[in-house]
Every structure is written in C-alpha cells, then in structure tokens.
C-alpha cells in the first residue's frame, strides 16, 4: 500500500516534550516532511529530512528517521500552548508530489 | 516576498456549478501543485503544473482541471460541483531544482458546496 499513518491524538503538559510518530510505506520517498496546521489555516512547513539522513535538529525540533523500519518521528522540546495544532507528516514520491498522513492533533495542557 | 497566495479565501457554490480557484507561487518557484483537504483528513494531491503543462495527476476525475500561466500562476477549475467537493483547496509551489527540499503552501481556499 501507499499509506502514511499517524496516531490521531496526543496530549502533553506545557514544558514537556512531545513526540509525534509516523510510518510510511513507499521506499522511493526522497524527502520526508513535517507540516503544522492551525485551525482554519493552511500548512506551515516545520522541517524536512532527506531520506539518506537519520536525524535533523532545528531549535526545539528533532526529526528522527529510521529508513529500515520506514518510521519518522518529530520531537518538540519544551512544548508550549502555541504548539497546539494538527501535525502532518508527508513523503515526497517519485512523481514529485506529497503524500500526507491523516494528521496528529496535539493538545498542550497548561 | 509574499509567499504563496491564493484567492478567494472562501467561496460558496451550489451543486452543478463551476468554480475557479487561483494561486500565485512564491517568488522564484516555477512548479505549482494543488491539493484537496476534506474536513478531518490530510491533503490529497490533485495535480501538478510545470512549464504550463500538467505534469502529474492524482486520483481525481476529469471534472478537476487546471492551467498554468507564463508567470507561473495557476488556476484550478472544478465543473459540475458535488457536495463532496466541499473542502479546503491548497496550492503549493516549489523551486526549479526539482522541488524536493522545499514545498511551500498557501493559506488555501475554503469551498463550500450547498
């Protein structure tokens, strides 16, 4: 199949770390992305990782890629209430289009 | 740089009508892709335009068509609207080097079909 799967919900307390997980099936994926979507808004590119990397860090964000298991994760350190949103992982297929997961709704509890 | 812009922001149509949505890519980008995001779902790829041609197409019927202009802006047309076409329509642009490392999205057009 061509699915990109994510858990639907995650709740964390403010100040804790959040880890959002994603699995994908297409081994031809070249780039993997994390997007953030706030209510009523479009998609904000948070970070991306090339498929030959296994980790990328960008300020509070850490992306881990296990290509063997086709598993991608996004860790948000010191999660804030402003991080509450839906997070989508997506992979870039050979056809140069993005295939998205169903999204994980992150709720940050003050 | 205004980034990716889309118009209109919201649109209400009735079944059977036709609609045109517009997208201007980020400066320096030449590839435009369109996505449909139904409520509670992730975006789904409709098609992609490059050099004024449809380069790739997702699993959408022929009622969905598009166009790209010489200035790289793009239109999405949907004919014979169905209730199920109600969604957020997102446009993404990417740079000329294959677009692998950057895909930027506009704010979307929310289409409601009554």
User: Which of the four pLDDT bands, split at 50, 70 and 90, describes residue A54?
Assistant: very high
- Report pLDDT for A1: 44
- Kindly determine whether residue A100 and residue B42, on different chains, have CB atoms separated by under 8 Å: yes
User: Which of the four pLDDT bands, split at 50, 70 and 90, describes residue A106?
Assistant: very high
User: Is the CB of residue A31 less than 8 Å away from at least one CB of chain B?
Assistant: yes
Beta strands B5-7 and A61-66: pairing type? unpaired
User: Is the CB of residue A73 less than 8 Å away from at least one CB of chain B?
Assistant: no
- Report pLDDT for B2: 73
List, for residues B64-99, the tens digit of each pLDDT value.
Answer: 999 999 999 999 999 999 999 999 999 999 887 655
Average pLDDT over residues A80-107: 90
3-state secondary structure of B91: strand
User: Which of the four pLDDT bands, split at 50, 70 and 90, describes residue A42?
Assistant: confident
User: Which of the four pLDDT bands, split at 50, 70 and 90, describes residue B1?
Assistant: low
Mutation for testing the B interface, residue in A97, A101, A105 having most B CBs under 10 Å: A97
What's chain B's average pLDDT?
92
List, for residues B17-29, the tens digit of each pLDDT value.
Answer: 999 999 999 998 9
Select the residue of B42, B99, B102 nearest A101 (Cβ to Cβ): B42
- Kindly determine whether residue A45 and residue B104, on different chains, have CB atoms separated by under 8 Å: yes
- Report pLDDT for A97: 81
- Kindly determine whether residue B48 and residue A97, on different chains, have CB atoms separated by under 8 Å: yes
What's chain A's average pLDDT?
91
- Kindly determine whether residue A43 and residue B105, on different chains, have CB atoms separated by under 8 Å: yes
Average pLDDT over residues A80-109: 90
User: Which of the four pLDDT bands, split at 50, 70 and 90, describes residue A31?
Assistant: confident
User: Residue A95: pLDDT above 70?
Assistant: no
Of B98 and A1, the structure prediction assigns the larger pLDDT to B98
Residue A56 near residue A63, CB atoms below 8 Å: yes
User: Is the CB of residue A87 less than 8 Å away from at least one CB of chain B?
Assistant: no
User: Is the CB of residue A42 less than 8 Å away from at least one CB of chain B?
Assistant: yes
Lowest mean per-residue pLDDT among A1-15, B32-46, B67-81: A1-15
């Amino acid at each position: 199949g061509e699915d990109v799967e994510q858990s639907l919900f995650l709740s964390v307390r403010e100040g804790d770390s959040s880890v959002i997980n994603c699995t994908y099936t297409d081994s031809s994926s070249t780039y993997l992305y994390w997007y953030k979507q706030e209510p009523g808004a479009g998609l904000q590119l948070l970070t991306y990782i090339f498929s030959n990397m296994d980790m990328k860090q960008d300020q509070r964000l850490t992306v881990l890629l296990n290509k063997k298991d086709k598993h991608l994760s996004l860790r948000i350190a010191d999660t804030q209430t402003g991080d509450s949103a839906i997070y989508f992982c997506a992979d870039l297929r050979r056809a140069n289009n993005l295939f998205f997961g169903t999204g994980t709704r992150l709720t940050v509890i003050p | 740089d205004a980034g990716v812009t889309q118009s209109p922001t919201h649109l209400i149509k009735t079944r059977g009508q036709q609609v045109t949505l517009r997208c201007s890519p980020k400066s320096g980008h030449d590839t435009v892709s369109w996505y449909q995001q139904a409520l509670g779902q992730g975006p789904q790829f409709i098609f992609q335009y490059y050099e004024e041609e449809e380069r790739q197409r997702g699993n959408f019927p022929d009622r969905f068509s598009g166009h790209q202009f010489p200035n790289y802006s793009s239109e999405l047309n949907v004919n014979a609207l169905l209730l199920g076409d109600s969604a957020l329509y997102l446009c993404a642009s990417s740079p000329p080097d294959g677009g692998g490392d950057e895909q930027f999205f506009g704010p979307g057009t929310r289409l409601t079909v009554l």
